[in-house]
Every structure is written in C-alpha cells, then in structure tokens.
Amino acid sequence: MNSILAAVDDLMFSSRITTAARQIGIELSFARSPEDLLGQARTRNPGLIIFDLNAARLDPMRSIAALKADETLRSITTLGFVFISVVTSVVSEMK
C-alpha cells in the first residue's frame, strides 16, 4: 500500500490514524471536503480511503458513491467506521 487518504474530521481518530500510519511508514493525507477527497483520490491514487461515517461535513455516503461510480477510482479499497450510538441511522442511509 503506497498511501492512505482519510476523510475524518474527529480529532481523536485523526490522531490515532496519523500515529498508526507513521509507525508503519505509510504516507497519509486528509480530505477536507467531498470535492477534495475525489481530487486527492485521483492525484494520489491511495491504496486505502478511511471514512468517518459520522462526518457530516464530508458527506461520506455521497463520497463513497461518487468513488464507486468513477471507473478509475472504484478499485480503491474503502473502510468506514461509525460511533456505535449512530449505527441505526447509518444503516438507514445505506439502504
């Protein structure tokens, strides 16, 4: 894996992801908007994109749909996480 792109706006998770990436020597960048995410995905070609599914500002569901709709980006592995207290609302959004 060459790099990781993170769509995360929670400081605690950002810090943990940054620490883990440094420990294994992986380049990490953060997207600040859905448009930034798609732009960085195109230019950086990350091996993984991590999504905070609670990050409303980053509109993760729309961003994931846009990634998977783009033939050049759909093969990028995505990983999402959510706080346990909002699992029901995220599952509803996925339907």
Helix (H, G, I), strand (E, B) or coil at 17: helix
Cβ neighbours around 31 below 10 Å, total? 23
Q: Which domain holds residue 48?
A: 3-94
80-to-7, 23, 65 alpha-carbon distances in Å: 9, 21, 13
- Domains held by the chain: number: 1
Question: What is the CATH number for 19?
Answer: 3.40.50.2300
pLDDT value of residue 56: 85
pLDDT at 1 (0 to 100): 63
pLDDT in tens, 15-33: 999 999 999 999 999 999 9
- Ranges of the chain with pLDDT below 50: none
